[in-house]
């Protein structure tokens, strides 16, 4: 199945599935889309998207597999390079956890997206062990590493400052004339990242997404204005309404615990 629209980003073919949702009306419930990944003529990179429909809403993309095999859930921007990877959009803590299930999600922790895990016993664990809300206030240790989790049935949050434990053990071993258990090695230059450069890359990528979405919406508006068939016009309106223009990316400064450990940035937060 091929789309007939002129080449552009996010055009191609959409296969939607639906049915009756009340006494007589029908609607889409979900879809599988194969769409062009970019607006460059001659570039055939495409992505596969899975979509669903919220109550009273329109068919909305939920998961994307891009042209190099990276997967994004809740985001249209999975990693753009390297090997196959899974990216989760930042969200809120899951509720209504089913029996015999456990899972992962991404949550904002003091301005940084962090990977979290949950189980049916009521434990929420931060899997990326760098909780900025704790590390930014903790005494400086050689290692920025804090393991923490919430036990909802117990009603408590448990925090283990692994950096402080390592500092204590190292001091004891050095006092006893034994080598430190901690080894810190410099990464090769090509593996060391620049915070400000990465923030600029994210800003530019977001602007490209905004431009692409606005361009596609403008083209759909032109098609809607020219279409005389009411059914086709309704479909075009649904496609247009499904496009969401992303918000501008606001650059972030590195967390205090990173600055304390030498990460530099000229970004000024507004």
pTM: 0.80
Strand 103-109 relative to strand 90-91: parallel, antiparallel, unpaired?
parallel
In the chain, alpha helices (H): 132-135, 162-175, 195-226, 230-242, 256-259
- Find the Cα–Cα–Cα–Cα dihedral 218, 223, 229, 235, rounded to 10°: -50
Q: For the chain, first and last CA: distance in Å? A: 48
Q: Average pLDDT in the 147-175 region?
A: 96
CA distances from 199 to 18, 72, 183, 252 (A): 41, 20, 30, 7
49 neighbors 67 (Cβ within 8 angstroms): no
Q: Which pLDDT score is estimated for 119?
A: 94
Q: How many CA atoms lie within 13 A of 80 on its CB side?
A: 7
For residue range 157-170, list pLDDT tens digits in order. 999 999 999 999 99
pLDDT at 270 over 80: no
Average pLDDT score, the chain: 92
For residue range 13-68, list pLDDT tens digits in order. 999 999 999 988 888 999 999 999 988 899 999 999 999 999 988 889 999 999 99
């Amino acid at each position: 199945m091929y789309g007939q629209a002129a080449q552009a980003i996010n055009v191609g073919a959409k296969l939607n599935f639906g049915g009756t949702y009340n006494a007589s009306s029908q609607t889409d419930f979900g879809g599988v889309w194969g769409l062009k990944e970019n607006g460059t003529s001659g570039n055939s990179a495409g992505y596969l998207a899975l979509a669903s429909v919220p109550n009273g809403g329109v068919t909305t993309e939920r998961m994307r597999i891009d042209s190099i095999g990276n997967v994004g859930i809740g985001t249209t921007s999975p990693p753009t390079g390297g090997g196959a990877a899974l990216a989760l959009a930042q969200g809120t803590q899951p509720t209504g956890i089913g029996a015999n299930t456990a899972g992962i999600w991404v949550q904002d922790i003091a301005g940084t997206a962090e990977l979290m895990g949950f189980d049916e016993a009521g434990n929420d664990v931060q899997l990326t062990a760098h909780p900025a809300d704790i590390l930014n206030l903790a005494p400086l240790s050689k290692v920025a590493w804090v393991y923490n989790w919430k036990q909802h049935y117990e009603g408590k949050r448990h925090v283990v400052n692994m950096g402080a434990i390592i500092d204590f053990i190292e001091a004891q071993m050095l006092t006893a004339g034994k080598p430190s258990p901690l080894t810190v090695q410099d990464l090769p230059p090509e593996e060391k990242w620049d915070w400000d450069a990465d923030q600029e890359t994210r800003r530019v990528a977001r602007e490209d997404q905004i431009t692409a979405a606005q361009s596609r919406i403008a083209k759909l508006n032109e098609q809607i204005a020219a279409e005389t068939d009411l059914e086709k016009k309704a479909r075009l309106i649904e496609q247009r309404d499904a496009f969401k223009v992303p918000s501008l990316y606001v650059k972030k400064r590195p967390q205090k615990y990173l600055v304390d450990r030498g990460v530099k940035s000229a970004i000024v937060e507004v």
